[in-house]
């Protein structure tokens, strides 16, 4: 849940999730619809799906235990090097480091080198003995992440109260390296077209679309937009910006009152549905509901 999501956002979801699924077994017996319903509003829904699939794999193939090698952990859906190493450290106390943005920044500052000049895996391998000498690998990985987030922060690091300032080349050097600027997320433009049944307060949605990041979710008709031209037979409603996963979307919302909808579409209430509706689509519901 914490991947790409702030702790304060996650807390109520985590509590509700743990209450519903207190054990791996209880999660593994659930359905995707029920898990997604609990995840509703948290975004990045692939995490929920992967978690459910993983619980089933662990129960059925690994005797309810997490594998102990990176190769086997990475066979679980959605787990790459970063999560795999974090799990090995947190669950099995293995001497591994989850290399995230915070960790990279700390190492690059200590060495006073640009991140793209460092081979982090090699660096960790060479310094393994020193890095893991406390034998508290799980705490060390957690501490490194927190240190990057709270002390060696992206802007204005707290160097004067930093406990490793005496070995930090960034702190000691008069010639501090300059971090290469991170490329800005590109905004993509989309047009969204809502068929509305005004009498019944319904909207037409489909799961058949080619938006990979909302794969298998109900959304209205959506098309990538390349111009700001008026669109025949559709009424312009509003423009809004939205972040989904790591994508920035600039959306023009259109609608029309129509009882005829394309064959792959279904009617949904603008108020209450039993089906799981992603928060992206719910935002559109809110906008559309304002139409008189």
By CB under 6 A, is residue 152 in contact with ligand SF4?
yes
By CB under 6 A, is residue 102 in contact with ligand SF4?
no
Task: Compute how many other C-beta atoms are within 10 angstroms of the C-beta atom of residue 144.
Answer: 21
Q: Which residues are CB-contacts of 43 (< 8 A; sequence separation ≥ 6)?
A: 5, 244, 245, 278, 279
By CB under 6 A, is residue 157 in contact with ligand SF4?
yes
By CB under 6 A, is residue 165 in contact with ligand SF4?
yes
- Binding segment for ligand SF4 (CB under 6 A), chosen from 58-66, 133-141, 167-175, 222-230, is 167-175
CA atoms of 106 and 147, how far apart (whole Å): 8
With CB under 6 A, what is the number of residues at the site for ligand SF4? 14
DSSP codes, 11-24: HHHHHHHHHH--SH
Query: Would you call 181 exposed, middle or buried from its count of C-beta atoms within 10 A (0-12, 13-18, 19+)?
Result: exposed
Largest CA distance in the chain: 72
Which pair of tokens denotes residue 117?
Answer: 């000049």
CA atoms of 74 and 84, how far apart (whole Å): 6
Which pair of tokens denotes residue 92?
Answer: 């099995």
Nearer to ligand SF4, 171 or 218 (CB): 171
The correct pick among 162, 211, 231, 244 for binding ligand SF4 (CB under 6 A) is: 162
Least distance between ligand SF4 and beta carbon 107 (Å): 9
Nearer to ligand SF4, 63 or 161 (CB): 161
- Binding segment for ligand SF4 (CB under 6 A), chosen from 39-47, 115-123, 157-165, 268-276, is 157-165
The correct pick among 47, 109, 202, 209 for binding ligand SF4 (CB under 6 A) is: 109
By CB under 6 A, is residue 158 in contact with ligand SF4?
yes
* Chain residues that interact with ligand SF4, rule: CB under 6 A: 106, 109-110, 151-152, 157-159, 162, 164-165, 168, 170-171
């Amino acid at each position: 849940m914490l991947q790409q999501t702030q702790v304060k956002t996650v807390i109520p979801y985590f509590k509700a999730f743990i209450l519903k699924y207190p054990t791996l077994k209880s999660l593994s017996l659930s359905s995707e619809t029920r898990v997604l319903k609990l995840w509703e509003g948290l975004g990045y829904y692939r995490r929920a799906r992967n978690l459910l699939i993983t619980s089933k794999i662990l129960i059925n193939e690994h005797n309810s235990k997490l594998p102990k090698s990176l190769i086997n952990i990475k066979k679980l859906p959605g787990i790459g090097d970063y999560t795999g190493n974090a799990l090995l450290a947190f669950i099995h106390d293995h001497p591994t480091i989850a290399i995230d943005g915070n960790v990279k920044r700390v190492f690059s500052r200590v060495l006073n080198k640009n991140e793209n000049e460092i081979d982090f895996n090699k660096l960790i391998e060479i310094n393994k003995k020193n890095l893991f000498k406390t034998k508290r690998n799980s705490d060390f990985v957690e501490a490194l992440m927190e240190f990057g987030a709270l002390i060696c922060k992206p802007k204005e690091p707290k160097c004067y109260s930093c406990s490793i300032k005496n070995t930090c080349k960034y702190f000691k050097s008069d010639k501090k390296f300059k971090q290469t600027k991170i490329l800005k997320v590109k905004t993509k433009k989309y047009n969204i077209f809502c068929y509305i049944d005004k009498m019944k307060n319904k909207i037409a949605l489909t799961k058949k679309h080619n938006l990979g990041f909302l794969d298998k979710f109900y959304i209205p008709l959506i098309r990538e937009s390349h111009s700001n031209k008026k669109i025949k037979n559709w009424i312009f409603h509003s423009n809004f910006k939205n972040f989904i996963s790591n994508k920035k979307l600039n959306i023009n919302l259109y609608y029309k009152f129509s009882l005829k909808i394309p064959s792959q579409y279904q009617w949904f209430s603008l108020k209450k549905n039993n089906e799981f509706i992603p928060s992206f689509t719910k935002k559109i519901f809110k906008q559309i509901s304002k139409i008189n």
